[in-house]
């Protein structure tokens, strides 16, 4: 696997993992605390930096598994 392919695979895995991690720990804003024009479905504390970190760690683990499968020859894409 070339480094360009590795970066591309990690990028795709990172985005998929981000959408899996975003709902973790989401609590809605109390309707009594809403100001006019605010979305009632918005999270009270999004903690986005923590979610980016969790996404990066999860993506690293998943990419490591993908890399190991590719390098071990369990799955090959060549004939």
Domain boundaries, the chain: 3-72
Per the document, the length of the chain is 79
- Reported as a single tens digit per residue, the pLDDT across 11-61 is 999 999 999 999 888 888 887 878 888 888 888 888 899 999 999 999 999
On the question of pLDDT at 78 being above 80, the answer is: no
**What pLDDT is recorded for position 51?**
93
Assign 2 a pLDDT band (cuts: 50, 70, 90): confident
Q: What angle do CA 47, 51, 56 make, to 5 degrees?
A: 155
For residues 70 and 79, what is the distance between their CA atoms, to the nearest angstrom?
A: 14
For residues 13 and 71, what is the distance between their CA atoms, to the nearest angstrom?
A: 18
**What pLDDT is recorded for position 79?**
62
Q: Can you tell me the mean pLDDT for 59-67?
A: 94
Which DSSP state fits 32?
A: G
Q: For the whole model, what pTM was predicted? A: 0.77
């Amino acid at each position: 696997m070339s480094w360009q392919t590795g970066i591309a695979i990690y990028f795709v895995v990172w985005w998929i993992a981000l959408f899996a991690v975003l709902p973790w720990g989401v609590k809605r804003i109390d309707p009594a605390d809403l100001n006019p024009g605010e979305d009632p479905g918005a999270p009270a504390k999004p903690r986005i930096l923590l979610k980016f970190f969790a996404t990066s760690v999860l993506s690293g683990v998943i990419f490591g598994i993908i890399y190991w499968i590719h390098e071990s020859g369990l799955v090959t894409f060549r004939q």
